[in-house]
Structure 1
Amino acid sequence: MHNRISLIGNVGNQPEIRTIGDSKVASMSLGVTEKGYTTKDGKKIEDRTTWFRIGLWRGLAEIVEKYVNKGDKLFVEGKMLSREYEKDGVKYTAWEVTATEIELLTPKKDGNGQDTKSAPSTTQQAAKESDDLPF
């Protein structure tokens, strides 16, 4: 069995970056919207957005810090994890996607308003890093 989730959505807040030990960690929200529709009998079903907490570690956190902003469209793949905590005597479960791969889907603009090449996807980044290996 595999725990894998793939999402495409828009970043809901400016990513928060912090350092734990010697590793960077990023967290952000990602809104995934299911488009509304009209039924055969004319009933209008509105768009529905589901919000996910996304956690990113090390190299992915560095990419997020450099390239990701509120409103950007992203592809995120990762593992859905839960943690339990207690507050004021009430037990809660918090769900978060720990990202294993991201890809920026929003073209970046240069100073003239022209699309520029976006940040490398994590797959491209891994290939670049392997070119630096001495073997």
Structure 2
Amino acid sequence: MALCAVAVLGGAAALVSIARFAAGAPPEIRTRLGLERSVPGACTLGRLLARIDADALDRAVGDWLAGQLEPADGLRALAVDGKSLRGSRTHDPVAVHLLAAVLHGEKTVIAQRQVDSKSNEITAFRSLPPPVGAGRHRRC
């Protein structure tokens, strides 16, 4: 996962690009990523990413980001909006559509959920993970 994150931050946009990034990374970077012995190929990366529970990963990242925020003295502004992900449409004619909750001041996505394409975002708001959709409060 760390390899994928670092490679994407470095401009990789496909599994082959991530594998090339790993193969061409300096030895100290490969060591820090746990790739001292071998470098995964694109097929291995694809199998890994296919097995990940995207919702659980998203909740974990959102919770971690929310935990990094300084406590607020008052209310924080929250924007909720839906977006279709560019490049997510493959054999299915419909692209992946996400509903995301973003803290304005911090510009941080604290929760998101895949929803039906161009669904009613007001009713889809309830599908966001707690605390956003359920009305519970998180330390933010």
The normalised TM-score by structure 1 is 0.23
Report the TM-score when normalising by structure 2. 0.22
Structure showing the higher helix proportion among its residues: 2
The structure with the largest strand share of the pair is 1
Q: Per chain length, whose mean CA-contact separation is higher, i.e. which structure has more relative contact order (CA < 8 Å, sep 6+)?
A: 1
